[in-house]
Amino acid sequence: MSGSHASSEVAVRVRRLEEQLIDAGLTSDDQLDAIIGRVVSGSPANGARVVARAWADPAFRERLLTDANRALEELGLSMSGGPQPQRFTVVENTPTTHNVLVCTLCSCYPIALLGPSPSWYKSEAYRARVVREPRAVLAEFGLELPAGTEIVVHDTSAESRHMVLPIRPDSTAGLDESELAELVTREGLIGTAAV
């Protein structure tokens, strides 16, 4: 069994276990997300550091968008989570294009940069609907985009992972990288929220 197939099967089994716990009334998706949120907030999010550096350093931003695997190494980070490095790309939101991530097969996700994935990311409903009707799904997350904004859905896989580079918020010119990193959320890195 190949490593990518095995990791996909594990992700599916984990989601089934989560759904059984929810069906038994022992927990809920919201409670699981809250636990994951506490775990992730206990240490600096690597993805937030990457975004903050890209916002503060235009040359790094260009290197990140050109070769994200190599740019990560500049920050002491890596996407080598197994026998072979994963291909990692960063997709940039602009005023006319908004990117959102999904794994239609299971729940492939750049854990090393974003922390554990939220339960909704693994749900069949999200995985199926965000591809067919991304604007409606984003609206359900509270993200209303202008009608003219193109929405691009990126499908991750065991071999290839993505991260969204959100638009830098207005009036953040005086903030340093650590202050900028505090603005970045996991949902912003997935593309289901603006930063």
Residues tagged active-site: 103, 106-108
Give start and end residues of each alpha helix (H) in the chain.
3-23, 29-41, 46-56, 58-66, 68-74, 111-114, 119-122, 124-132, 134-140, 177-183, 186-190
Q: Which amino acid is at 46?
A: N
Cβ atoms of residues 93 and 146 within 8 Å: no
DSSP string, 101-156: EE-SSS----HHHH-SPPHHHHSHHHHHHHHH-HHHHHHHTT----TT-EEEEEE-
Name, in order, each residue with C-beta under 8 angstroms of 12's C-beta and a sequence gap of 6 or more.
106, 107
Instruction: Find where tokens 């339960």 sit.
Output: 119
90 neighbors 64 (Cβ within 8 angstroms): yes
- How far is residue 51's CA from residue 65's CA, in Å, rounded to a whole number? 11
